[in-house]
Structure 1
Amino acid sequence: MRIKRIEKLKENITKSKFYIKGNEKFNKISDKIRTNLKYELIFLVGFCLIISLIGAVVSSRLFFSENRRTVETIVGIEAFTESAKSAAEGLKMKVDEGNITIEDSKFFSEFFKSENLALGENHKGYVTDLDGKVIYKSPDAKETQFSIFQLLVNASEMPNKDTEYVEERIGLGERSINSYSPKQMTKMFPIKIGGKEYYFIYEGVPEIVVKTNEYRQTNELLGLLVGTLIFIITFLYVINRKVKDLDEISDGIKFIANGDLSYRLKIRGADEVSNIANNINLMASEIEKKIQSERAAEKTKSELITNVSHDLRTPLTSIMGYIGLLKDKRYKNEEEMNEYLNIAFNKSEKLKILIEDLFEYTKLNNAEMKIEKTKVNLSNIVSQIADEMTPIFEENDLILLKNIIDDKIICELDPNKMVRVLENILSNASKYSYKPGTVIIGLYENEGEAVISVRNRGDNIEQDKLNKLFDRFYRGDESRATESGGTGLGLAIAKSIVNMHGGHMWAECVGNDITFYIKIKSISN
């Protein structure tokens, strides 16, 4: 029955709001400590401090302590001074009220016997002349003459507040070596009696209060040393796991640095140290991927060199063949001769484009290309390039339309490099558009940015291939036999130039509509 009650009580406690909220807060703090190295170290330092403090207190009380007693003697100077003032003021008041003269011995005899004098135990009162000769005094007083000078000296040296005298004794039963001896004190007040000047002198020993305090004195320094030692040992013990994790990370970095990119560190916990280990694993994985990518790029470059060698050799062979025919005068008439010259010229133009693309790529790849920015009207550049390339489009049975929304869009850019970008994009559109067809080049300004678009209709490009269009050496047309084949550098060069201007270039394909976009920061008019 009792066990059931306890179980029910536990169930009620676990269902209470306070328990649920407290448990949530505890879990939150626990997760914070577990996932944050800063809080974990704070917790560990706090835990070690508590252990060291407990050790210091226990050790100082058990091993570094002894019994002591203090005897505190308090001299009641303030109470003595008040008694003296009260007695002097009482005498002055009675003298003024009764017009008393110094010859009225009966008055003074009754006054010194009266309770109004407020004399304490062992306290005495005197009335003296200005030379210190005693005229009247308390019944038990013995002095007949005072030195006024000495009284003034004693008054200047006497403290005004209660004075404490403390002596310390080792052990509870030992005898005190030093003891306080009470001293007699004197207070002097001027007073007029019958129009003449006299002194009222109050003399006695202040009340003394003795307090005894027994305690056990500990050696805090030795306790502190023991606590510090406990803290160091405890901290090293609890921090040892983190040190091991850091050692493993260090060893793992050495393995990775020596070329073993497949090595992975063990992840323990969820704090910053484990995050470092996880990031090192990610770094090794990324480096491994990058090396594989670079190897693939090298392979692509090798293929490019082979392809470019073919592209260079083919027009060169044709040029040499037709020039050889012209040299040997193996043509029927002037019309055939001009045809041979035109073919050689077109082949040399193609060869020139190949060489320019390779040269441009080499400069971009080696960061040798510099841009010289100047403020220009981008609308004029786009319109001019469209006009210049219209005949080329017409030769390919294409119509090039301009859709320039703003007549004046000022941008800070290198005009020659931007012309090359536009030529590459338009040339790409001319090669891969359905023929006959239409290519639209547009320009507008949006939120402080100039946006150039080139749209044409052609074969649908899948998303994965669309993302590769700007990769160097990538060619969408795999057939080298078609006339549209190129080096695969045109769009890569264009994107690099746009990036150097701080702009952005991308492509979108919806159905058979392919659009290239360029976005560059514009300058407000």
Structure 2
Amino acid sequence: MRRRLVGLIKNLVKRVQRSLRTQLILTFVFCLAFAAAIEIVIIQLLEDKFASRYVETYTGMKEMEHQTQHLAGVINRVQELYPLDPASQKSEIQNLLNDGERDTLANTATFRIVDEKGEVMIRSENASRESVNLSDLLRRVMEQRNQTQFLDQTSAFVTLYPVEFVDKEAYLICTGIPREEVQQGEKFTEAGALLFVVIFLFLFYQITKRKTDYIEELSRELKVISQGKLGHRVRKRGEDELGILAHSINQMAEDLEAKIEEERKAERLKNELISNVSHDLRTPLTSIIGYLRLLHEGRAKTSEEQREYLRIAFGKSEQLQRLVEDLFEYTKLSHHDVRLAKQIVSLNELVGQISEEYVPLLEESELQLVSKLSERELSVDLDPEKMVRVFENLLINAIKYSHKPSVVELCLQEQDGGALLLLRNRGDDIAQEQLERLFERFYRLDQSRSTDSGGSGLGLAISKSIVDLHGGKVWATSNAGVITFYVWLPVAEPQAERQL
């Protein structure tokens, strides 16, 4: 039970901490209650010390009047209940008068019924038998009713109401000493109300000042961020709506900073693309124009020189064509404007076929290919033509950058619910920063950008785009001169499950 109670309290505290509205309501209620308590205590102290006392009988007078008026009404109803039985009327009215006398405080009031001459017709047990002067009595009643607070304590209070008694007009007279109350002469109600307002406002301001200061701080910090300082962060206080707002401001600044950085990177890559394309197009184009100019000006002395110039110009033209085609293909792949002709393919057979086709080229480059393919057939839903381009790019990359002679390893295995292809070769160690940029467009490890050794610089970028379109991943590692490229592709569902 105790544990449940502690858990309930903790849960309530958490809810209060997470709700600014609840905190303000509780603060308002607390300030209201505290200010009211302080007001009561202060007013009581002031009245005890400064207020004068006096005896007030007005309330007792009103009580006697109300009791007499009520008794007169009951007596009149008795007349209606026993219209033809005077004896029963007298008996009931006598009991009413006696009960009325006993009901007064300390039996201080008596009741009499007198006729129009002032003669007593019936009375309560302790009432006087003497007749009364109705004129003097009425004047006295009027004078006493005009008094609101003070009354001579030595004189009795008298009030009367007309009644019927035994079919005669009569008067019910109540005579007695009214109840006394001690009252204070000075009241501090207005001062107490002012004190309540002051205490409430002071407490509410002091308790909510932390929240209002935090709101002002958020406003200032947001203004700093709006001035372009996106690296600036707002302090988060609490778990309520203001804390959530601070987190949202920081998240917004972080997202804006990342977006602006991404835009800057895109702008930088665009400039690099323009520069790289211009360089890579200009280099073969310059050679083509140069050799054609030599032929046009007749500087080739022999037919052998003419054929050599034409061979070089034709080779540069093919190189230019490949660059343009690679650039066009990369642009399509990067903007997802290409449709894949997918089909279920055995990756074991596809990789084995490509590796066999490249064995002669590898041997020509003094490289030995060692293949280790998974014994279990790994089927992948892919576009064979596009994926062949990926594997060929990786093999060509290994041929260009491997130390000669050395071994190139090709492995295919199942991993993380997919097919993982590893291509490992020995070459110059690659720094981590360069590894992260290997799959960027136009990036070459050869910083001189020689197309003779480094190609167009789009091969790995095209490979990454193709793998991404297939829902896979591609990355590279380098350790002690061993460079490994990884291609992971999701394995296709079994045919039975696909039909279901």
TM-score normalised by L of structure 2: 0.56
Which of 22, 32, 38 in structure 1 is aligned with 2:18? 38
The verdict on how the C-alpha distance between 1:281 and 1:353 changes in structure 2, with shifts beyond 3 A counting, is same
The answer to whether the 8 Å contact 1:261/1:287 transfers is no
Aligned to 2:411: 442
Shift of 1:509: 1.4
Shift of 1:467: 2.1
Spell out, residue by residue over 1:327-379, the C-alpha distance to the aligned partner (whole angstroms, 9 max, x if none). 76947457x66655543443233222322232233334444344443322222
For 1:462 and 1:373, how far apart are their aligned partners in 2? Answer: 36
The answer to whether the 8 Å contact 1:248/1:265 transfers is no
Shift of 1:293: 5.9
The answer to whether the 8 Å contact 2:231/2:257 transfers is no
Aligned to 2:29: 49
The verdict on how the C-alpha distance between 1:277 and 1:364 changes in structure 2, with shifts beyond 3 A counting, is farther
Aligned to 1:306: 275
Report matched runs for 1:493-512 at 5 Å: 493-512=462-481
For 1:292 and 1:446, how far apart are their aligned partners in 2? Answer: 35
Which of 308, 321, 329 in structure 2 is aligned with 1:360? 329
Which of 380, 385, 391 in structure 2 is aligned with 1:416? 385
Identity over aligned pairs, percent = 41
The verdict on how the C-alpha distance between 1:401 and 1:320 changes in structure 2, with shifts beyond 3 A counting, is farther
Which of 45, 66, 89 in structure 2 is aligned with 1:175? 66
3-state SS of the aligned residue for 2:478? strand
The answer to whether the 8 Å contact 1:475/1:488 transfers is yes
Spell out, residue by residue over 1:192-243, the C-alpha distance to the aligned partner (whole angstroms, 9 max, x if none). xxxxxxxxxxxxxxxxxx9x9xxxxxxxxxxxxxx9xx99997787446435
Aligned to 1:374: 343
3-state SS of the aligned residue for 1:175? helix
Aligned to 1:470: 439
Shift of 1:296: 5.3
Aligned to 1:96: none
The answer to whether the 8 Å contact 1:249/1:265 transfers is no
For 1:280 and 1:289, how far apart are their aligned partners in 2? Answer: 14
Q: Which residue identity is paired with 1:260?
A: G
Report matched runs for 1:71-470 at 5 Å: 175-176=66-67, 238-239=207-208, 241-243=210-212, 245-246=214-215, 248-250=217-219, 252-253=221-222, 256-257=225-226, 260-262=228-230, 264=232, 266-267=234-235, 269-271=237-239, 273-274=242-243, 276-277=245-246, 280-281=249-250, 283-284=252-253, 287-288=256-257, 291-292=260-261, 294-295=263-264, 298-323=267-292, 330=300, 332=302, 340-406=309-375, 408-470=377-439
For 1:363 and 1:421, how far apart are their aligned partners in 2? Answer: 15
Cα RMSD, aligned residues only: 4.8
Shift of 1:450: 0.8
The verdict on how the C-alpha distance between 1:285 and 1:51 changes in structure 2, with shifts beyond 3 A counting, is closer
For 2:235 and 2:249, how far apart are their aligned partners in 1? Answer: 11
The verdict on how the C-alpha distance between 1:337 and 1:363 changes in structure 2, with shifts beyond 3 A counting, is same
Unaligned runs of 5+ in 1: 1-20, 64-168, 184-209, 213-226
The verdict on how the C-alpha distance between 1:513 and 1:339 changes in structure 2, with shifts beyond 3 A counting, is same
For 2:344 and 2:329, how far apart are their aligned partners in 1? Answer: 24
Shift of 1:470: 2.5
Unaligned runs of 5+ in 2: 44-59, 79-99, 104-195, 495-500
The answer to whether the 8 Å contact 1:44/1:238 transfers is no
Spell out, residue by residue over 1:53-99, the C-alpha distance to the aligned partner (whole angstroms, 9 max, x if none). 56689999999xxxxxxxxxxxxxxxxxxxxxxxxxxxxxxxxxxxx
The verdict on how the C-alpha distance between 1:391 and 1:294 changes in structure 2, with shifts beyond 3 A counting, is farther
Spell out, residue by residue over 1:302-329, the C-alpha distance to the aligned partner (whole angstroms, 9 max, x if none). 3443343232222223334445666769
Q: Higher helix fraction: Structure 1 or Structure 2?
A: 2
For 1:468 and 1:492, how far apart are their aligned partners in 2? Answer: 10
